[in-house]
Structure 1
Amino acid sequence: MSKLPIAGIYRHYKGQDYEVVGVARHSETEEEVVVYRCLYGDHSLWVRPLSMFCETVEVAGEQVPRFAYCGERPHQD
């Protein structure tokens, strides 16, 4: 099992930022999925299998995280 990501801001290896809302389970397969929101464009919600969210990808011959933790979401007053 992959380590569960904590809620907060993550940067995709292609450069865009996302907010992880939490981890959920697929209703039919019980597979764990990460629920996250785009911090650009339409701010749509997405889900991705936990194992895929936590994996590394090859970029220019180097293994990098698909999503890298950047920190907590800033509080808005």
Structure 2
Amino acid sequence: MTPGRYRHFKGGEYEVLLVARDTETEEPVVVYQALYGERGHWVRSLADFTAHVSRAGYDGPRFVAVGSAGSHRAADSVVEPLRRD
């Protein structure tokens, strides 16, 4: 997984900072920050971050890459869906 800017399927944009490991399970987790509101920091398992979502009106990846790390350009150019590497 590459650090950078990602768009959540509900529309919010986030900056992925790094991939870490859970202290108990050693499962990889994604550390990311909201690029709106209070710009809170969040942690989600890599499996969940890269999961496919099927909801009413949407069927696709939970997050889609929209720019490189530190990018502050308009997020209208989707680069590629996120992969579990």
Q: What's the TM-score bracket when you normalise by the shorter of the two chains? A: 0.7 to 0.9
Aligned to 2:19: 23
Aligned to 1:74: 71
Letter in 2 for 1:53: F
Q: By how many angstroms is 1:62 displaced?
A: 4.8
Query: What TM-score do the two structures reach when normalised by structure 2?
Result: 0.76
Q: 1:62 to 1:40 in 2, by over 3 A?
A: closer
- Residue 6 of structure 2 contacts residue 64 of structure 2 at CA under 8 Å; is this kept in 1? yes
Aligned to 2:59: 63
Number of residue pairs the alignment of both structures matches: 71
Can you give the 5+ residue segments of structure 1 that lack an aligned partner in the other structure?
Answer: none
Provide the secondary structure at the position in 1 that maps to 2:38. Answer: coil
Q: By how many angstroms is 1:32 displaced?
A: 0.6
Alpha-carbon distance in 1 for matches of 2:7, 2:57 = 19
**TM-align CA RMSD:** 1.5
Identity of aligned residues (%): 51
Q: 1:15 to 1:62 in 2, by over 3 A?
A: closer
